[in-house]
Amino acid sequence: MKTQEIADFVSGKLFGAGDIEIIGIAEVLKASNGQIAFVEKAGTFTATKASCLIVHDDFDTYLSNQETPSEIITRGCYISVRQPKLAFALIAEKLHPPKKPTPGIHPSAVISESARIGSDVFIAAHVSVGDNSVIGVGTQLRAGAKVGDRVKIGSDCVIHPNVFIEDCCTIGHKVILHSGVVIGADGFGYVRDKQKHVKFPQIGTVVIEDDVEIGANSCVDRGALGETRIGAGTKIDNLVQVGHNVNIGKHVIIAAQTGISGSVVIEDDCTIGGQVGFGDHVRVLSGAVIGSQAGVLPGKIVRPGVWWGTPIQPLDEYKRQNAHVKSIERLKAEVKLLKKIFEDKPLP
């Protein structure tokens, strides 16, 4: 892409030449000729060798305050936008589109005769697809992915190597499941019968809506009776556990190694840190933010705001409480002094 094309594509303002050919993206300090980079804040880009730099709108002001603006401009060109990182991500998608292997089914794949495979599907070596499953147009099943019976996968999904999708689960369009993800394994439910644990039925399903991405080796258990659902646009990191009958809303972010117990509801637009633990039947209201390693007790309703700690509390309270704990030492000294005063000078 030429620099002018890029500026138009991100609705940015171009400074410098519009006909420089950009062939790739790079980090600002490691970029070289032919690459485009970005800086979040003015003032951090001085050493770049990128041919073009995405900068913030406030760059003009910055530039006019510099002593040698001409030198900066002659080094290349730049494009100013309101959200440099976002513009960079969009350009990256253009310049480095995800690999799209040639459609086809590898002869070592084992596909049920009753499965319906859409056009432009890529099925790699050692994949298996069960009875009556449906694979949507343009979807990739990479090496060793295993799809059960009566599974529906939408179009343009990427199912990475060694993923397993259990019977009857439904995957939307443009879903990305990273390597080792397990969708639809039995939930963890038992009923005590004297000493033994009798398995509670785990015969529900999983529904994963469009544009969801799930990280490597994460697990989403099927519903016990109903469904486990992950809403459109939600992004889940690696090694996350999603229990049975969990309902996650749209555009939620969940970082690595978080564990979500059965029947938890996380509403739209929440942000959940890493290694957070949710007891069962928690409800997180839309827009809440929960810090890493927090623990949410069963049944808790988490209101919008920023939460922290175990058991979770508002971040401000958490910080205040931490400060209080740190002040115990001084408090003890003060009390000791007061006591000493009494002992030295007893009241009449």
Footprint of its own copies on residues 186-225 (CB under 8 A)?
Answer: 186, 188, 190-193, 195-201, 203, 211, 213, 215-217, 219, 221, 225
Q: Which residue in the set 75, 235, 281, 300 belongs to the binding site for its own copies (CB under 8 A)? A: 235
| Min dist. Cβ of residue 18 to its own copies (A) | 23
C-alpha 200/C-alpha 224 separation (Å) is 8
Q: What angle do CA 214, 298, 278 make, to 5 degrees?
A: 25
Using DSSP, state whether 208 is helix, strand or coil: strand
Under a CB-based contact definition with an 8 Å cutoff, are residues 181 and 218 in contact? yes
Footprint of its own copies on residues 80-99 (CB under 8 A)?
A: 83, 85-86, 88-90, 92-93, 96, 99
Footprint of its own copies on residues 292-321 (CB under 8 A)?
A: 292-293, 295, 310, 320-321
Using DSSP, state whether 322 is helix, strand or coil: helix
| Min dist. Cβ of residue 15 to its own copies (A) | 23
Q: Which residues of 281-290 are buried (b: 16+ CB within 10 A; e: fewer)?
A: ebbbbeebbb
Tokens at residue 230, please? 């992950």
Q: Judged by CB under 8 A, does residue 339 bind its own copies?
A: yes
Q: Which residue in the set 17, 185, 285, 315 belongs to the binding site for its own copies (CB under 8 A)? A: 185
Residue 315 φ then ψ, to 5°: -55, -40
From the list 244, 251, 281, 324, the catalytic residue is 244
Q: Please name the residue that has the structure tokens 């319906």.
A: 116
For residue 135, the tally of other CB atoms under 10 A from its CB is: 28
Tokens at residue 137, please? 């147009």
Q: Judged by CB under 8 A, does residue 113 bind its own copies?
A: no
Under a CB-based contact definition with an 8 Å cutoff, are residues 166 and 187 in contact? no
Footprint of its own copies on residues 260-289 (CB under 8 A)?
A: 261, 269, 274-275, 277, 279
Closest listed residue to residue 223, CA positions, set 192, 248, 240, 247 = 247
Question: 66 or 341: whose CB is closer to its own copies?
Answer: 341
Q: Which residue in the set 17, 63, 143, 306 belongs to the binding site for its own copies (CB under 8 A)? A: 143
Footprint of its own copies on residues 154-173 (CB under 8 A)?
A: 160-162, 164, 166-167
Q: Give the range of 5-13, 14-22, 175-183, 281-289 binding its own copies by CB under 8 A.
A: 175-183
| Min dist. Cβ of residue 61 to its own copies (A) | 23
Q: Which residue in the set 34, 118, 259, 314 belongs to the binding site for its own copies (CB under 8 A)? A: 259
Q: Give the range of 11-19, 46-54, 61-69, 79-87 binding its own copies by CB under 8 A.
A: 79-87
Q: Judged by CB under 8 A, does residue 334 bind its own copies?
A: yes
Question: 17 or 105: whose CB is closer to its own copies?
Answer: 105
Tokens at residue 200, please? 């509670």
Footprint of its own copies on residues 9-68 (CB under 8 A)?
A: 25-27, 30
Question: 73 or 126: whose CB is closer to its own copies?
Answer: 126
Alpha carbon distance, N-terminus to C-terminus of the chain:
91
Q: Number of residues interacting with its own copies: please give it, by CB under 8 A.
A: 103
Torsion of CA 203, 254, 93, 14, to 10 degrees: 150
C-alpha 345/C-alpha 348 separation (Å) is 9
DSSP assignments along 252-274, one per residue: -EE-TT-EE-TT-EE-TT-EE-T
Question: 102 or 119: whose CB is closer to its own copies?
Answer: 102
Q: Please name the residue that has the structure tokens 């809303």.
A: 249
**Is 244 assigned a catalytic role?**
yes
Pairing of strands 190-193, 196-199: antiparallel
Q: Which residue in the set 61, 114, 338, 340 belongs to the binding site for its own copies (CB under 8 A)? A: 338
| Min dist. Cβ of residue 45 to its own copies (A) | 15
Any idea which residues carry the catalytic annotation? 244
